[in-house]
Structure 1
Amino acid sequence: MTTLTTGSEAWWQSKKGPEWVREKGNYRVTFWWRDPKGTQNTSTVKRVWLYITGITDHHQNARPQSLERIPDTDVWQWQGEFSPEWRGSYCFIPSDNEHDFADAVFEDAHPDRLALREGWRKLLPHAVSDPLNPQSWRGGRGHAVSALEMPDAPVQPGWDHPDTPYQPPVCIEWNSTRLDNRRRVWIFTTGDDSPERPLAILLDGQFWAESMPVWSALTSLTTGHKLPPAVYVLIDVIDIEHRSRELPCNPDFWLAVQEELFPLVKKHAPFSDRADRTVVAGQSFGGLSSLYAGLNWPQRFGCILSQSGSYWWPHRGAQQDGLLIEQLRTGEKTAHGLRIVLEAGRNEPLIFRANQAIYAELQHTQQPVIWRQVDGGHDALCWRGGLTQGLMILWQPLIHSRSLYGIQ
């Protein structure tokens, strides 16, 4: 067998993204990046920062990691250890500056969290996906990322059939009087038209419509009778400023959804008004918002899918609980009658602890709360599987409803 010279054209052609080998129950993964400007003699690149969600990202109180150049080549590499079930996204950030982070970030094993976040905040707009990896997309923060999935990563229902044909969604404009703004809303339907079809509201709708389209996954699960025929409403956040104002516990947003958006959607696709057939699904601020909607309007939103909910809000990093946790603890909110799926990643420490706290408070209510821990971080690559799995769990009683399939 011919050994290829590291950095040669033939060697690069053999690379298809990260490579891994099994070591003592885990996998040692090697990441590669090709310097387009060549070797250290011709390139100005000093660092290639590696941002792995849940491993080297800003949620971890750990030193930033950079790939290292193999001398006299255009090859940069980095190795790390991952569990067999690991799933997550990553990106590269090439830099001509050796000092992108404050010196304090490298002076201790646990760097200053604010300095660390500030360094990543400046770098991430310059991130690039892995050109060797065909599984790449634009993440929620606007930069390109790529997928890393270990051999034993859990199956993500529906996403394993990306070529399933589907009926394209309808995209409408919603001009809100109450919110005094305008945004896109996608309406996606599966199965035959029926006023009894359940409804799912997907927050951060622009992501699930454009960056990581959910259409084939939902269609595949519906044709396989793992999801009932349904109406899906994907709501655009407009921008980061509107997202930060409307999603965290904002009553006007949810009143506008009920009073303005629902009648608008019904002109295009009939759906059931029953709370036990209505799912609100969201991630991060959207996860917080989904439970907030259920706690405040349980007569309309009866099924809650909260992924990596930001239950620390509004006290980021403070030694006190978030608003919903406090209100549940003092009895100002009740989750009686709701069906709730909570999910968080073990590699998103602050959010994981906040979700454990909200789960503990919800345990005092009378209905079951399903708690799912994910071997991953604050990551849409993990959320996509939890989204379809959560819909299956929450709509399980409907899947066996013969009338939803038009069978008498």
Structure 2
Amino acid sequence: MPRKIRLLLRLAASGMFPLAAFLCGSPTTTLDLDRGDYVTFTARTAPGVPRELQLAGPQHEHIRTFAWEGGPKTFGFVAEASGTYTLGFAAPEPPAELAVGAIVPPAQQPTPDRCAVDLQSPRLQALRDAVEAGNATAEAAFWQAVAQQGAPLIEPKDEAHVWVTFLWHGDAQTRSVFLNWPVFSPRKEDNLFQQLPGTNVWYYTAEMPRGLRMTYKLAPNAPFGPGSTRQELRRAILAVTQADPLNPHRWPSAAALDRFEAHSCIDLTGAAPMWEQTDVPAGKLQTHWFESQLLGNRRDITLYTPAQAPEGGPEMPLLIVFDADRYLEQIPGPAILDHLIAEGQIPPTIAVFVSNPTSQSRSEELPANPVFAESLATELLPWLEHYCTFTDDPQQRVLAGASYGGLAASSVAFFQPAAFGAVLSQSGSYWWAPEGAEGPAGAESEPAWLNRQFAASDHRLIRFYLEAGTLETASDIRPTNRALRDILHAKGYDVTYREFAGGHDDYAWQFGFAQGLVALLGEAATAAD
């Protein structure tokens, strides 16, 4: 079977045989691959039911896990050694299909064009000079030092910035290395490594602010080229994106995560304190199904009830958090609430973590959708009253989220200020417009649609905590957050604004989430005392 699969797929890749899909009725599929082969495949499962696929290598070793929310999903991977690979569903039920697309050998994979850049790193300048001078041991000594000290290289530039140099130890097979990090670049080739001539040193140097906190991954030999579509580009990068093998610091730190799941992290001197989980009373988490007639769908709602719920006192504040997975997994939202409540920084608070039924529904509901806002105000709030008691004061009802979730927090409060009067927005996507955010002035496609709505509307009784990263300029995150801050100040809103040294990154948002809660609910804790 493996050789038949391989023959069909190679014919399909060469265009000699029009293979649309190879359907596998069994829960596992084997593929006979050569080193460097790029494989794409589509898994088809019931929508809304999270599934996992496991990839094992020629020695039956676990290589990586592919996880998704259910429904059809296309993935890719690159064989790192020749041999037989096995793809299998982690659970045989419910029924699923695996459709293998094509195998593309290294000779047929495009190589992206790199842009020449100046060599900024002093240590790499010294290595270059030593190699050019004929020092035959210079590179080996360099890699030995990196193995002892770790990567990336951190070198001073000025009082406010450092040079950060990411490294990859290449070999004769290395064609390219791509930096996958939370910093937007208009051109993907701007994130490609350079090769130091005469060596196996591949590098990418960037000027970074002191106090930086950031995660990143590296993608060696990502099979994309100048003609790749956006979807092909993303799939090719994710096929090989992995933690930096030269950096021992990973996030999340769970040992069970493989190198494709974990991120490498950077914490420079002066970075905001990282969240530390301490031994405090833990709140209770319960997950329920919530069905919306207005939206025509249903979703998971995770309800957090604090351990220190008051008896006979004032009704508790309410926190509604978008993108539940983000704030339950990457950002430890419940643990942060436990800690802030135990220390008296915020009062005991009811929290509701709202999931997205699908990725498509997320892109439709979170960006300034008045029907979504109406559903929260007229369907979710009454539904919650069956499970818990919370305040009817809109000023103590906080909407929170990051990226599209930050945009949702502000837009829901804009549409429903009588229900929600506080916003915690982390790197909110205020560049968004209904028709694409790339159009002319005055059109529905003009960027920063919600900013213009606030500017043109009467004052609403809403308090804001806004934050954005100093590395979120090219994506228009920081400029549009600053613009919203200025509009809100001019309109007389209560606004707390913060910028952090980082990018569009869950790792950096952990501290801001706690800080935003204290900014919006801290006075209530003082009043309760």
- Shorter chain as denominator, the TM-score bin is 0.7 to 0.9
Paired residues for 1:4-403 under 5 Å: 14=148, 17-25=151-159, 26-33=161-168, 39-40=171-172, 44-54=173-183, 57-58=184-185, 63-66=190-193, 68=195, 76-95=202-221, 97=223, 100-101=225-226, 121-126=234-239, 127-131=241-245, 132-137=247-252, 145-156=263-274, 159-161=275-277, 166-194=282-310, 196-314=315-433, 315-318=436-439, 320-331=446-457, 334-349=458-473, 350-402=476-528
C-alpha separation between the residues in 1 aligned to 2:187 and 2:521?
Answer: 35
Q: Who is 2:78 aligned against?
A: none
- In structure 2, relative to structure 1, the CA distance for the partners of 1:328 and 1:358 (3 Å cut) is same
Deviations 1:250-308 (A, max 9, x none): 12212222333233333333221211111001112111111111122212111111222
When structure 1 is superposed on structure 2, of 317-326 and 366-375 the one drifting more is: 317-326
State the one-letter code of the partner of 1:220.
H
C-alpha separation between the residues in 1 aligned to 2:176 and 2:162?
Answer: 25
SS of residue matched to 1:363: helix
RMSD: 3.2
Residue ranges of structure 2 left out of the alignment (5+ in a row):
1-137, 254-259, 441-445
TM-score with structure 1 setting the length: 0.79
Cα deviation for residue 152 of structure 1 reads: 0.8
State the one-letter code of the partner of 2:221.
S
State the one-letter code of the partner of 1:29.
V
Deviations 1:317-363 (A, max 9, x none): 445343222223333xx343211112222322212222222222212
Deviations 1:212-244 (A, max 9, x none): 332222212221111221111111122221111
When structure 1 is superposed on structure 2, of 304-313 and 317-326 the one drifting more is: 317-326
SS of residue matched to 1:395: helix
C-alpha separation between the residues in 1 aligned to 2:338 and 2:187?
Answer: 36
State the one-letter code of the partner of 1:212.
I
Q: Who is 2:62 aligned against?
A: none
C-alpha separation between the residues in 1 aligned to 2:305 and 2:355?
Answer: 17
C-alpha separation between the residues in 2 aligned to 1:303 and 1:77?
Answer: 44
Cα deviation for residue 83 of structure 1 reads: 2.1
Cα deviation for residue 161 of structure 1 reads: 3.1
TM-score with structure 2 setting the length: 0.62
Q: 8 Å contact 1:70–1:77 — kept in the other structure? A: no
Q: 8 Å contact 2:403–2:428 — kept in the other structure? A: yes
SS of residue matched to 1:316: coil
C-alpha separation between the residues in 1 aligned to 2:186 and 2:216?
Answer: 14
Q: 8 Å contact 1:305–1:390 — kept in the other structure? A: yes
